[in-house]
Structure 1
Amino acid sequence: MEQNWTTIIKPKNKLMDLKLKEIWQYRDLIMMFVKRDFKTLYKQTVLGPLWILITPLLTTFMQVLVFGGIANISTDGMPQFVFYMAGNTLWLYFSSCLNKTANTFVGNAGVFGKVYFPRLVTPISITISGLISFAVQFSIFVAAVIYYAVKGNIHPNGYLLLLPILIIELAMLGMGCGIIISALTTKYRDLTVLVGFGVQLWMYGSAIIFPVSAVPEKWGKLLMLNPVVPIVEAFRYGFTGSGTWSPMYLAISMGMTAVIMFIGIVIFNKVEKTFMDTV
C-alpha cells in the first residue's frame, strides 16, 4: 500500500542547499523558543526581569564615573549618560546575540539529537528574544534623550528613522558571527573560552566608550571599518545630533554584515549534517 508522507527529511548534499523556506514553516516553534528563552533567563533569580534595567544602568553609571569622570574621555559634546547609554543599549543586544548563538550546537546537542527541525530556528529565536530586553533598555535611553532634548543639550534629527535598519543589521551581524563560531566550536572547544574574551576586546574597538572623533583621522577611518562602529555612530547621530555620521561607511558595514551572515548560514548548514559525531 502506497504511503503519503507529510514530511520527508533528506540530507543536504549541496553546499547552497539552505532551505530557508522551511524555516518559515516552523515559525510557531521559533515563537515557542522565544518565550522559553525569556522565561528561563531570569528563572530562580531574586530580581527577575529587573536585571534588564539594572545591567545597562549600572554599566552606564560606571562608565560615566571611570571613563567620563576619572579618564575624562570626550563624548563628542553629548551628555555623558546619553553617550554611554546609547553605546550600551546597542552593544548589550549585539553581544547577547553573538554569545548565545555561539553556543547553538553545543548547548542544544541533546535536543538536536532527538527531534528534527531546521537548526537555524534556534539562533533566530535567540536573536528575536533579545529584542525584548533591547526594547526595555531602549525605553530608558529614549527617556534620557527626551529629557536632554527638552533642556537643549542634544538635537535629535530625522536620521533616527534609520533605527529599524540599524537594529536589523546589528541582529544579523551578531547572529552571523555567532553561528560561524558555533559551527567551529563543534570541533574546537577552545573557542568557547576565547569568545567571551574576544567579544570584550571587540567592545573596546567599537566606539562604545569613546567617539570616533576622539581618534586621529587615519585611525578613525580604520576604526569605521569595524562593522559595529558605523551602526553605533549613526544611532548616536540620529538621537543626539552628534557623532560621525557616514553613509558610505554604513553601506560598507551593511555589505560586510551580509557577507558574514551568508558565510555563517552556509557553514552552519554544512556542519549541521555531521556535528552529532563530533559534539
Structure 2
Amino acid sequence: MDTTSVLEKSEVNYAAGSAQEESWTEVIQPRTRLLELGLADVWRYRDLVMLFVRRDFVSTYKQTVLGPIWFFIQPLLTTITYVIVFGNIAKLSTDGLPQMAFYLAGITVWNYFAQTLTSTSTVFRDNATMFGKVYFPRLTMPLSIVISNLVRFAIQLGLFAAVWLYYLLQGNNNIHPNWTIALTPLLVVIMGLLSLGLGMIFSALTTKYRDLAMLLAFGVQLLMYATPVIYPLSSITGWSRKLIEANPMTSIVETFRYAFLGSGTFSWQALGYSTGVTLVVLLLGTIIFNRVQKSFTDTV
C-alpha cells in the first residue's frame, strides 16, 4: 500500500476521533443583532448581578460612621432645606399640602431616577479594567445599578411612608390617598427603564467624550427644576407648562404625589406619554450600548 495514502487515512481518522472526543460547553460568537439585550445570558449570570448589587450597596458607605443611616439623612436634610428655602422664603405653593410631605414625595421619586442615571452613565469608563480582563454580559453592570438604587429607593420610600402616616394619624384634612397607590410599582418600573435607557446612551458616549459625564451631572440638577419636585404642576401656566409636561418625569412625580397625598395632576394620557418615551429611549439605548460594547476598550 502507498505510504502517502496510509498517512492521509491516519490523519483523517485522527481528526474524526478528535472531533468526537471534543465536547464544547461554551461557544463564544460575535453578536450582530443590535436589538438583542442578551437577557438569557444576564439570567445565567444573575449571581454576578447580585454580587455587583452588594458591592455597590456596601462600597457607597464603607468606612463611614453612620453607614446606611445616610439613606435617611440625605433626603431628610434635603427636604428640610427645601421647606426653608422654597416653602418659607420663596413662598412656593404646595397645593395646601404639608410642606414636609410635599417636598419629600418629590425628592423620593427624583432621587431614584437621578442617582440611577448618573451612576449608569459612566459604566464603561468606571469598569474599563474589569471589562478588559474577563468576559461577562456587559448589561449586568447597568442592571445591577438599577437594582441597587432600587434598594435605596425602598429605604427612602419607608421614610416618606413614616411622614405620610404621621400626617394621616394627625387627621390632616388636606391629604387624601386614593387607589392610584396601586400604580406605584408601575411608576418605579418606568423610572428604572427610563434611567437605564438614558444611562446606556450616555455611557456609550462618555467612552469618547468624557466631558459628557460632568455635563450630565450638571444637567440632571437643572432638569430637577424642569420637573415638579419643588412646585406643583398646577401652579405653572402658559408655554412653560407645556415645556414641563414634555418632561417624561413630570407625570411620574405628579402621579406619585396624587396617589399618596391626593393632590396633583393624574392623567392616563400623560402616563402613557411617559411610558412611550421610556420605550423609545430604552430602544435607542439598547442599540447604542450593543454597538459600543464591542469596541469600547479601544477608546476608553
TM-score by length of 1: 0.97
User: Shift in Å at residue 20 of structure 1?
Assistant: 2.5
Q: Whole-Å Cα distance in 2 between the matches of residues 213 and 269 of structure 1?
A: 41
Aligned to 1:19: 38
Secondary structure at the aligned position of 2:133 is classed as coil
Aligned to 2:5: none
One-letter identity of the residue aligned with 1:172: L
Q: Whole-Å Cα distance in 1 between the matches of residues 103 and 249 of structure 2?
A: 15
Q: For 1:5, which of 16, 24, 29 is the aligned residue?
A: 24
Q: Structure 2 matches for 1:196-211, cutoff 5 A?
A: 196-211=217-232
Give 1 or 2 for the bigger CA radius of gyration: 2
Contact conserved, 1:157 with 1:239, CA < 8 A, in 2? Answer: yes
User: Shift in Å at residue 217 of structure 1?
Assistant: 4.4
Q: Structure 2 matches for 1:178-193, cutoff 5 A?
A: 178-193=199-214
Contact conserved, 2:124 with 2:296, CA < 8 A, in 1? Answer: yes
Contact conserved, 1:149 with 1:156, CA < 8 A, in 2? Answer: no
Q: Does 1:162 align with 2:183?
A: yes
Q: Whole-Å Cα distance in 2 between the matches of residues 274 and 252 of structure 1?
A: 34
Q: For 2:251, which of 221, 230, 234 is the aligned residue?
A: 230
Q: Percent same amino acid at aligned positions?
A: 52
Secondary structure at the aligned position of 1:54 is classed as helix
Q: Whole-Å Cα distance in 1 between the matches of residues 146 and 32 of structure 2?
A: 28
Q: CA RMSD in A?
A: 1.1
Q: For 1:32, which of 51, 55, 63 is the aligned residue?
A: 51
Q: Deviations over 1:84-134 (max 9, x none)?
A: 000110111111100110010000001100111110100000100111111
User: Shift in Å at residue 48 of structure 1?
Assistant: 1.1
Q: Whole-Å Cα distance in 2 between the matches of residues 16 and 4 of structure 1?
A: 30
Q: Structure 2 matches for 1:1-279, cutoff 5 A?
A: 1-2=18-19, 3-150=22-169, 151-152=171-172, 153-279=174-300
Gap change, CA 1:218 and 1:192, over 3 Å in 2 = closer
For structure 1, the 5+ residue unaligned runs are none
Q: Deviations over 1:203-246 (max 9, x none)?
A: 11011111111101443233112000100000000001100111
For structure 2, the 5+ residue unaligned runs are 1-17
Secondary structure at the aligned position of 2:214 is classed as helix
Q: Whole-Å Cα distance in 1 between the matches of residues 221 and 30 of structure 2?
A: 38
Secondary structure at the aligned position of 1:12 is classed as coil
Secondary structure at the aligned position of 1:113 is classed as helix
Where does structure 1 differ by over 4 angstroms across 4 or more consecutive aligned residues? none
TM-score by length of 2: 0.90
Q: Whole-Å Cα distance in 2 between the matches of residues 17 and 162 of structure 1?
A: 29
Q: Whole-Å Cα distance in 2 between the matches of residues 274 and 95 of structure 1?
A: 28
